[in-house]
Amino acid sequence: QGMYKYLERCFSDFKQRGFVVGYDTRGQVTSSCSSQRLAKLTAAVLLAKDVPVYLFSRYVPTPFVPYAVQELKAVAGVMITASHNRKEDNGYKVYWETGAQITSPHDKEILKCIEECVEPWNGSWNDNLVDTSPLKRDPLQDICRRYMEDLKKICFHRELNSKTTLKFVHTSFHGVGHDYVQLAFQVFGFKPPIPVPEQKDPDPDFSTVKCPNPEEGESVLELSLRLAEKENARIVLATDPDADRLAVAELQENGHWKVFTGNELAALFGWWMFDCWKKNTSRNADVKNVYMLATTVSSKILKAIALKEGFHFEETLPGFKWIGSRIKDLLENGKEVLFAFEESIGFLCGTSVLDKDGVSAAVVAAEMAAYLETMNITLKQQLIKVYEKYGYHISKTSYFLCYDPSTIKSIFERLRNFDSPKEYPKFCGTFAILHIRDVTTGYDSSQPNKKSVLPVSKNSQMITFTFQNGCVATLRTSGTEPKIKYYAEMCASPEQSDTAFLEEELKKLIEALIENFLEPSKNGLIWRSV
């Protein structure tokens, strides 16, 4: 209802252009409240007000909604999903006419409109409208066909793909991904990936994983790794339940699996997308017109590649909504964006969608692996080559759980008033701090005017420390979970190749960061269980 109220105010042609609604496969048995039911109710509210609604007739990957908004020229769209959150959760993800997730001021204005109409209107519960209204359309076939057609833009080795001896296992984590990843592989000329039978069909209970987040690594990838060993497949691809994120694992010579972090995968994707651009572009194409983006808590590896290769790199606030809206600006100014990512395994190859996309990332990762295989190079070996050329970037990301908002607030307030009021810390243990950026307050000690270049983000906590030894560390709160996250990275120059030293230095710094700034035992923080 709040959405309707706001959109009616913003768009005079709302009732001509319509609205997109998609949903994943979540559901709570006790309340019989599934994503599909919430999607039908969302559609019913708008249909009752004579708004045309493009309601997908079955579950789709999250990126299909922003893609459909752009393709169908709708004013906005909603995806009912809680992505990789625990099974009890659900959520409502809003996309603007641009195809990017909403940013300020839209979010606050929609919230105001929600507050103004909390009573259900007549007709709001009438979900029969979904079956009877002539204003309801099903965009599934059309959007799926267009999406798969657009995928061809980022396929560079179709013939090689069709001949590869590499085998891939794909798990869709009990979510939406299976059918769509199968189709994407077909578009790229691959044989179908081997699905994990226990996880291929939707299951709102996520019954074979302790949590439905592929980011948790080997512990949640157990079934797919065992299947891969049995099938003699060297690469495992895991899409999260709403298929907008991707995890990748590769079997190593020593029989162990390497599960790549989001930052490591981004180093590979960044190298790959630029390499393909170089080999497939016309002679007079200007590298200065090319961009890659990452969120500020993600690895700076793309920055290192950009400096050496001559293209542009830009940072945004955490969250793909900022990346999506920045890409939109760049495209409107005639720029070419090859790749964007956030460290929490969210990747965007190309710009057909303005949000992270696990389906396209999965098939691009497969093509990259198949190409490297022809030269007898593994993904892990190629990652090392990227680091040797552009400089080692060694990072660690983790989190603490904290269910008390006032504790979280006091941890960050203490950092803003460390040894005395309005003074940030100058040291963390024995590590000297060079610069501090506090996006919550808009302060940045590295800028001449002491103001942060990134927009102020008052309703979330985030402080970044740049250390004398070249390490960059960020502490921030999560937007969707009761977590305090920390991110730390050592960025070395290409000539500094002593990885053992870099890793040891990073480890000590993280220990100091936790002990001095987060104080888990004093604050009752719960360590991430590994």
Determine the residue type at 32: S
Overall average pLDDT of the 487-510 stretch? 93
Q: What is the reported pLDDT for 18?
A: 98
Least confident of 21-35, 175-189, 230-244, 383-397: 21-35
pLDDT digits (tens, 9 = 90+) for 135-159: 999 999 999 999 999 999 999 999 9
Q: What is the reported pLDDT for 131?
A: 96
User: Does the domain at residues 391-527 carry the CATH identifier 3.30.310.50?
Assistant: yes
What's the number of CA atoms in the CB half-sphere (13 Å) around residue 16?
4
CA 331 from chain centre, in angstroms, equals: 20
Assigned token pair, 391: 């400089």
The distance in angstroms from the start CA to the end CA of the chain is: 42
CA distance linking residue 77 with residue 92, whole number of Å: 10
The model's pTM: 0.95
CA distance linking residue 402 with residue 523, whole number of Å: 9
Q: What is the reported pLDDT for 283?
A: 82
Q: What is the reported pLDDT for 123?
A: 87
Q: What percent of the chain has pLDDT over 70?
A: 100
CA distance linking residue 28 with residue 238, whole number of Å: 24
Report whether pLDDT(529) > 80: no
pLDDT band at 459 (very low <50, low <70, confident <90, very high): confident
pLDDT band at 3 (very low <50, low <70, confident <90, very high): very high
Overall average pLDDT of the 496-504 stretch? 90
Pick the CATH number of 1-140 from 3.30.1490.20, 3.20.20.70, 1.10.10.410, 3.40.120.10: 3.40.120.10
Q: What is the reported pLDDT for 530?
A: 55
pLDDT band at 282 (very low <50, low <70, confident <90, very high): confident
Q: 31 vs 258, which has greater pLDDT?
A: 258
pLDDT digits (tens, 9 = 90+) for 399-418: 999 999 999 999 999 999 99
CA 32 from chain centre, in angstroms, equals: 29
CA distance linking residue 179 with residue 415, whole number of Å: 48
**For every residue of 401-416, which 3-state class applies, written as one string?**
ECCCHHHHHHHHHHHH
Report whether pLDDT(497) > 80: no
Report whether pLDDT(29) > 60: yes
Neighbouring CB atoms inside 10 A of 123's CB total 12
Residue pair 357/61 in contact by the 8 Å Cβ criterion: yes
CA distance linking residue 333 with residue 486, whole number of Å: 35
Give me the chain's average pLDDT, please: 96
Residues 6+ apart with CB under 8 A from 238: 170, 171, 173, 214, 221, 224, 246, 247, 248, 249
List where CATH 3.40.120.10 sits in the chain. 1-140, 155-390
List where CATH 3.30.310.50 sits in the chain. 391-527
Q: Is 83 a catalytic residue?
A: yes
Q: In 3D, which of 512, 526, 529 has the Cα closest to residue 430?
A: 512
Residue pair 484/402 in contact by the 8 Å Cβ criterion: yes
| 3-class SS of residue 521 | helix
pLDDT band at 495 (very low <50, low <70, confident <90, very high): confident
CA 391 from chain centre, in angstroms, equals: 24
Determine the residue type at 180: Y
Assigned token pair, 320: 């793909």
The fold of 155-390 is: Alpha-D-Glucose-1,6-Bisphosphate; Chain A, domain 3 (3.40.120)
Q: What percent of the chain has pLDDT over 90?
A: 93
Residues 6+ apart with CB under 8 A from 6: 106, 109, 110, 113
pLDDT digits (tens, 9 = 90+) for 295-335: 999 999 999 999 999 999 999 999 999 999 999 999 999 99
Q: What is the reported pLDDT for 39?
A: 97
C-alpha distance from residue 472 to each of 90, 389, 408, 463 (Å): 34, 21, 21, 11
Determine the residue type at 371: Y
Q: Is the dihedral of CA 367, 371, 372, 373 positive or negative?
A: positive
pLDDT digits (tens, 9 = 90+) for 421-450: 999 999 999 999 999 999 999 999 999 999
Catalytic-labelled residue, pool 34, 35, 83, 344:
83
